Amino acid sequence: MKVLYHLKDAGYDAYLVGGGVRDLLLGREPKDFDVVTNATPEQVKATFRNCRLIGRRFRLAHVYFGREIIEVATFRANRPADRDLAHTDKGMILRDNVYGTIKEDALRRDFTINALYYDIRDFSVVDYAGGMQDLQEGVLYLMGDPEIRCREDPVRMLRAARFAARLGFRLHPDTEAPITTLGGLLADVSPARLFEEVLKLFMAGYGVASFERLRQYGLFAQLFPDTEAALVTEEGGFPHTMVLQALKDTDERVREGRPVTPAFLFAVLLWAPVRLRARALEANGLAPYTALQMAAGDLVERQLTRVAIPRRFSMPMREIWVLQSRFRHTKGKRPQRLAAHPRFRAAYDFLLLRARAGEADPVLAEWWIRFQEDGGVPSPPSADEERPTRPRRRRGGRRRRKAAPAE
Ligand code: ATP
Ligand code: MG
């Protein structure tokens, strides 16, 4: 409100736009607020003391209120005159930096419900594209020629799935049609941008719905091709159960305001293909631990060409996987050693999730639950179990242990 009034008092037009207006009209709490104005970024900067300009090609103003940032953009247009220069041969937009009128600004947005402008002067909502009606009817309608709009920016397809999931809206048939056929264009989007989209899809409290929509439109296969292949071969089996259970848990945690970590979620999403690959390697004679490490390496390398998982998440993710092969050792000091591992808790949660999905041995999971409940002390071995009194030593065991840093 301060930003809007301040711009208005300085003689400019200023509107709240996008998700802020949409969510307020739906009675939801907006995630962030975007403001648009006819003032240029330099004029915006001159209007506020607490303002910084960002972006090179397209400049935006950030107005600061303590830790809050309100993004103020100048009306933009999608001028046909620039079309030839600003698109790739597949129609993807490269440059998008021409100032325009409010109406032009509205039409270059994605869905009609995202193109509503709240006008501070008379408390009205400006609607150039029928967004109010779509909002009331629960419809997502991609403005303009939907195929061209999907080609310009394939991420709009993911946004369609995301808003459908989050708001419980349906896609207008005109909007749905190109999405079911153009998913492959996501291969041209930068993996870093797709990582951001994946977080919004799966870590914001509506992950189960996102997963279902993405699979419905064939978009999940574009983001996680190896996982999709595993899901298809074991339709209704453990990969499905495990992913859904994890997403459900994550949604619940988000709703309760508890922390969630992308490392765990990616570990779940990619586990089915990692396990398949590890099995194949084991069948070729590799030890389980080595097989898992190699499978993890292969899978991550392939996955990164689609979705750029930053190292701070991919490293713990791999640890969660590789630790799975160590849960089978329940004798001697090995359980305590495993429990002291910084990633033990996440790996343990992962084991329980696997057991719930029917993929890990429930007896083993039970053993570890008891181990945890007993404060990390393994239960006494049964009579027929031999418990080594000293750490086992193979020939040259000491040396070898030192030489294998992963152990
Ligand atoms: P969220 O609640 O997730 O922030 P949002 O609708 O505010 O939803 P933003 O990514 O914050 O989404 O974008 C703000 C606005 O910018 C959108 O409402 C839309 O009008 C416009 N916009 C964002 N991304 C695109 C895009 N890829 N193509 C066209 N318009 C877009
Ligand atoms: Mg937003």
Q: How confident is the model at residue 334 (pLDDT cuts 50, 70, 90)?
A: very high
Q: Give the model confidence (pLDDT) of 223-244 as tens digits.
A: 999 999 999 987 668 999 999 9
User: Which pLDDT does position 156 carry in this prediction?
Assistant: 98
Mean pLDDT (the chain, rounded): 90
51-54/60-65 β-pairing:
antiparallel
Q: Give the model confidence (pLDDT) of 197-213 as tens digits.
A: 999 999 999 999 999 99
Structure tokens at 17: 């736009």
The best mutation among 114, 156, 158, 199 to test binding of ligand 1, ranked by most ligand atoms within 8 Å of the C-beta, falls on 114
Is residue 47 lining ligand 1, measured as CB closer than 6 Å? no
Nearest-atom index, ligand 1, CA of 18 = 18
Nearest-atom index, ligand 1, CA of 153 = 27
Give dist(CA 244, CA 231) in Å, integer. Answer: 12
- DSSP string across 231-254: HHHTTTSHHHHHHHHHHHHHHHHH
Q: What percent of the chain has pLDDT over 90?
A: 81
- Distances from the Cα of 194 to the Cαs of 258, 371, 381, 392, in angstroms? 24, 40, 49, 47
- Distances from the Cα of 293 to the Cαs of 134, 161, 403, in angstroms? 50, 34, 16
Nearest-atom index, ligand 1, CA of 115 = 20
Is residue 112 lining ligand 1, measured as CB closer than 6 Å? no
Task: Judge whether 169 lies within some domain.
Answer: no
Q: Exposed, middle or buried by CB within 10 Å (0-12, 13-18, 19+), for 105?
A: buried
Considering the domain architecture, whether residues 229 and 369 belong to the same structural domain is answered as yes
Give, using CA atoms, the residue closest to atom 14 of ligand 1. Answer: 18
Task: Judge whether 106 lies within some domain.
Answer: yes
Considering the domain architecture, whether residues 372 and 242 belong to the same structural domain is answered as yes
Please list the residues that pair with 63 across neighbouring strands: 51, 70
The pTM (predicted TM-score) of the whole model is: 0.88
Residue 402 has pLDDT above 70, yes or no: no
Average of pLDDT values for 250-261?
96
Q: Give the model confidence (pLDDT) of 339-374 as tens digits.
A: 999 999 999 999 999 999 999 999 999 999 999 888
Considering the domain architecture, whether residues 111 and 254 belong to the same structural domain is answered as no
Distance 9 CA to ligand 2 centre (A): 25
Task: Judge whether 315 lies within some domain.
Answer: yes
Is residue 196 lining ligand 1, measured as CB closer than 6 Å? no
Considering the domain architecture, whether residues 258 and 373 belong to the same structural domain is answered as yes
Residue 391 has pLDDT above 80, yes or no: no
Q: How many CB atoms lie within 10 A of CB 158?
A: 27
User: Which pLDDT does position 93 carry in this prediction?
Assistant: 60
Residues with Cβ < 8 Å from 391, sequence gap 6 or more? 332, 333
Considering the domain architecture, whether residues 248 and 119 belong to the same structural domain is answered as no
Is residue 109 lining ligand 1, measured as CB closer than 6 Å? yes
Does residue 346 contact residue 264 with C-beta atoms inside 8 Å?
A: yes
Q: Give the model confidence (pLDDT) of 123-179 as tens digits.
A: 999 999 999 999 999 999 999 999 999 999 999 999 999 999 999 999 999 999 999
Give the number of the ligand closest to the Cα of residue 30: 1
Residues with Cβ < 8 Å from 378, sequence gap 6 or more? 330, 331, 335, 336, 371
* CATH assignment at residue 364: 1.10.3090.10
Considering the domain architecture, whether residues 232 and 88 belong to the same structural domain is answered as no
Query: Rg for the chain (alpha carbons), in Å?
Result: 26
* Parent domain of 29: 1-137
Give dist(CA 159, CA 162) in Å, integer. Answer: 5
Give, using CA atoms, the residue closest to atom 7 of ligand 1. Answer: 19
User: Which pLDDT does position 98 carry in this prediction?
Assistant: 83
* Angle at 15 (CA atoms; ends 11, 20), nearest 5 degrees: 155
Which residues have CB atoms below 5 A from the ion given as ligand 2? 19, 32
Structure tokens at 86: 């600003």
Is residue 210 lining ligand 1, measured as CB closer than 6 Å? no
Domain count, the chain: 2
Considering the domain architecture, whether residues 124 and 247 belong to the same structural domain is answered as no
Give dist(CA 53, CA 51) in Å, integer. Answer: 7
Domain end point (choices 120, 137, 154): 137
Considering the domain architecture, whether residues 133 and 229 belong to the same structural domain is answered as no
Task: Judge whether 404 lies within some domain.
Answer: no
Q: Residue 324 carries which DSSP code?
A: G
* Angle at 91 (CA atoms; ends 90, 94), nearest 5 degrees: 110
Considering the domain architecture, whether residues 228 and 370 belong to the same structural domain is answered as yes
Distance 220 CA to ligand 1 centre (A): 21
Considering the domain architecture, whether residues 129 and 229 belong to the same structural domain is answered as no
Considering the domain architecture, whether residues 241 and 109 belong to the same structural domain is answered as no
Average of pLDDT values for 76-81?
73
Give, using CA atoms, the residue closest to atom 17 of ligand 1. Answer: 18
Task: Judge whether 237 lies within some domain.
Answer: yes
Give, using CA atoms, the residue closest to atom 22 of ligand 1. Answer: 109
Give, using CA atoms, the residue closest to atom 2 of ligand 1. Answer: 19
Residue 83 has pLDDT above 90, yes or no: no
Task: Judge whether 200 lies within some domain.
Answer: no
Average of pLDDT values for 271-290?
95
User: Which pLDDT does position 80 carry in this prediction?
Assistant: 57
Task: Judge whether 334 lies within some domain.
Answer: yes
Give dist(CA 128, CA 338) in Å, integer. Answer: 61
* CATH assignment at residue 85: 3.30.460.10
Active-site amino acid positions: 32, 34, 110
- H/E run at residue 17: strand 14-17
Considering the domain architecture, whether residues 241 and 132 belong to the same structural domain is answered as no
Task: Judge whether 148 lies within some domain.
Answer: no
Name the E strands within 18-83. Answer: 34-37, 51-54, 60-65, 68-74, 76-77
